Structure 1
Amino acid sequence: MPSPQQARAQASAITSGKAGPDAEMSPTAQLRALFDRPRLSPGQRRIAQYLIEHIAEAAFLSITDLADRVGVSQPSVTRFASAVGFSGYPALREKLQSITLGTRAGGPAEEIRANELQAAVDAEIGNLENLRRDLADADRVIEVGRRLSASTPLTVLGLRISVSLAEYFAYAARRIHPDVRLVTRGGSVAYDALLQSREAGGTWVLAFSMPRHAQETLTAVRVARSAGLKVALITDLALGPLVDEADVSFAIGTGSRLVFDSYAAPGVMCAALLQAMTDADPERTQARLDEYEHVADEHQFFLRD
């Protein structure tokens, strides 16, 4: 009889297919598409990032308030609106309002929030709903999972606060992949590990970057790219140097209502990529899970429920 984990691996295969015409894009995805312009200046990227991260509030700001929040001039906001295809800031704001009001229209009435802890949970539910909409087209996840599965060794990189997500992913990936290398220290230690991974035949790195984003993560990603490794990135950012350096990125919302961020949606994204890896090589997956269950039983790794 298969273990619960084996049964889940068999039963949870991702179904490929493009989203239907009625599939709803998340506000984050809509703004990423709206602002995906290669020639945005650094200041314009800051405006775009602020709008993406604060869409519900920013859609109703005056040009003066938005400029103050981002730390740019009012003419800079006007030029940004023109750069992303609008006649001026009023037209851009109208578009932003239609996006944010569209996500609220027809939804359930907002529950009374008893305390800040419940508000934090509500924010995470919103992140998960956005992720669900982004995953309506699963093909990109399937393709990245296939690439990660085929990379031997596969390197997983997470520094500072991102260590926990990298450790979770690497721990699970080792059950289904023969050579997973975890990098959680920056500087020359990370460089050595990345270069060795490439020399050993590795082709991909999965990197995590959560707020506050470490400079050493950006440097490590650049080292990986210069060594010939491809980089898949899981982050909360839609724009910026980290995203620019990655070959493929997944912008996933994090909970920021409490003193430390929470990672419900990035955790689900990890599980989705792990599922895609199992689907990419089901025979290897099954053989490795069988062997692991044998070793776990022999050495009594787990309590019997």
Structure 2
Amino acid sequence: MPSGQRARAQAAAITPGGQAPEHERAPADRVRALFNGHRLSPGQRRIAQYLIDHLTEAAFLSITELAERVGVSQPSVTRFATALGFSGYPALRDMLQPIALSAVAGTPESSKEIRRNALQAAVDAEIANLENVRRLLADTDQVLDLGRELARSVPLTVLGLRISVSLAHYFAYAARRIHPDVRLITEGGSVAYDTLMQARAAGGTWVLAFAMPRHSKETLAAVQAARSAGLRVALITDLTLGPLVDEVDVALTAGTGSRLVFDSYAAPGILSAAVLQAMADADPERTQARLEGYEQVAEQHGFFL
């Protein structure tokens, strides 16, 4: 399909759920539709947000002016346009200008309202991701089976690098309340390799890895190292296909919110909590004893207000 034609086709198509054609929607929504379905970097999302927030002006800026306004380089603007399927920034601008003119001709939305709607759209996208997780959990067998396997692995290794560190920290922190030996890996390279080897030597059988956009080569290398050491690997990620999924024994997927400059992780978070629940249910006596023991220590030392 010629450059930019795909985006034009999107603008003319009926949106999912039987909504009105793109040309009947609000200008800001029509611009947002151009970005849907594309994995944009944080810098590219800044450009996208500027175009949404300042549509009537930004659609007529030169590439130099737009780069200066956003605070990025001119090549970054070009890469942004090509990431959307256009031949370059001029082709993207040609697509934006009629939408901007329609905004001027109609009742223009204020920047404040556009920004508020953009934030609401981000929440709506996360709700859709949560609905997908709900459908995934309709058949509980996979999660319950994984919970039993992770509960039996002593030690249990949790892996999360770069942006996935926060999810790995959350899971490991909670898992330590119900599991006797949880080892957390948040650095790649030889550090990850050493920890994986030690976990296997100590009797561990499973690694739970997190891989959220953008997927790092370090994560793939660590997963491969775990497999070569004889460990089985479960993966919580946003993709159903790819080199990481190909390397693991079990993959659970949950979409990330990509409407803002940085991804949000409501769906991976609830999926992680579901796996923790499955671990707790796999050995209820151990779970209860460890939770009661922790509460006694917390009360004794006054951990909480």
TM-score, normalized by length of structure 1? 0.63
**1:54 Cα shift?**
3.5
1:253 equivalent to 2:290? Answer no
Separation in structure 2 between the aligned mates of residue 136 and residue 262 of structure 1, nearest angstrom:
23
| Structure 1 residues 235-286: Cα deviation after superposition (integer angstroms, max 9, x where no partner) | 0011011000010001110000000000000000010000000000000000
1:201 equivalent to 2:203? Answer yes
Separation in structure 2 between the aligned mates of residue 170 and residue 229 of structure 1, nearest angstrom:
18
| Larger of the two Rg values belongs to structure | 2
Residue 177 of structure 2 aligns to a residue whose secondary structure is: coil
2:238 to 229, 236, 250: 236
Q: Which ranges of structure 1 fall in alignment gaps of 5 or more residues?
A: 1-26, 28-52, 56-67, 72-111
Residue 301 of structure 1 aligns to a residue whose secondary structure is: coil
Separation in structure 2 between the aligned mates of residue 113 and residue 265 of structure 1, nearest angstrom:
23
**1:115 Cα shift?**
1.4
1:291 to 290, 293, 303: 293
Provide closer, same or farther for how the CA distance between residues 227 and 160 of structure 1 changes in structure 2, counting only shifts above 3 A: same
**1:69 Cα shift?**
7.3
1:211 equivalent to 2:213? Answer yes
What amino acid sits opposite 1:260 in the alignment?
F
1:157 to 159, 172, 196: 159
Question: Corresponding residue for 1:188?
Answer: 190
Separation in structure 1 between the aligned mates of residue 116 and residue 83 of structure 2, nearest angstrom:
29
**1:134 Cα shift?**
1.1
Separation in structure 1 between the aligned mates of residue 273 and residue 290 of structure 2, nearest angstrom:
18
| Structure 1 residues 173-210: Cα deviation after superposition (integer angstroms, max 9, x where no partner) | 00000000000000000000000000000000000000
Residue 262 of structure 1 aligns to a residue whose secondary structure is: coil
| Structure 1 residues 22-49: Cα deviation after superposition (integer angstroms, max 9, x where no partner) | xxxxx9xxxxxxxxxxxxxxxxxxxxxx
What amino acid sits opposite 1:194 in the alignment?
L
CA contact (8 A) 1:234 1:251 kept: yes
Residue 183 of structure 2 aligns to a residue whose secondary structure is: strand
CA contact (8 A) 1:235 1:252 kept: yes
Question: Corresponding residue for 1:127?
Answer: 129
Q: Which ranges of structure 2 fall in alignment gaps of 5 or more residues?
A: 1-15, 17-35, 39-81, 86-113
Point out which structure has higher relative CO (alpha carbons under 8 A, 6+ apart): 1
Q: 1:59-138 counterparts in 2 under 5 A?
A: 114-138=116-140
2:173 to 171, 174, 178: 171
CA contact (8 A) 1:113 1:119 kept: no
**1:70 Cα shift?**
9.6
Please, what is the CA RMSD of the aligned residues? 2.0
Separation in structure 1 between the aligned mates of residue 182 and residue 267 of structure 2, nearest angstrom:
23
Residue 230 of structure 2 aligns to a residue whose secondary structure is: coil
TM-score, normalized by length of structure 2? 0.63
1:142 to 141, 144, 148: 144
Residue 167 of structure 2 aligns to a residue whose secondary structure is: helix
Q: 1:16-35 counterparts in 2 under 5 A?
A: none
What amino acid sits opposite 1:284 in the alignment?
R
Question: Corresponding residue for 2:277?
Answer: 275
Residue 182 of structure 1 aligns to a residue whose secondary structure is: strand
Separation in structure 2 between the aligned mates of residue 238 and residue 273 of structure 1, nearest angstrom:
18
Question: Corresponding residue for 2:28?
Answer: none
What amino acid sits opposite 1:216 in the alignment?
E
Residue 115 of structure 1 aligns to a residue whose secondary structure is: helix
**1:114 Cα shift?**
4.8
Separation in structure 2 between the aligned mates of residue 70 and residue 220 of structure 1, nearest angstrom:
32
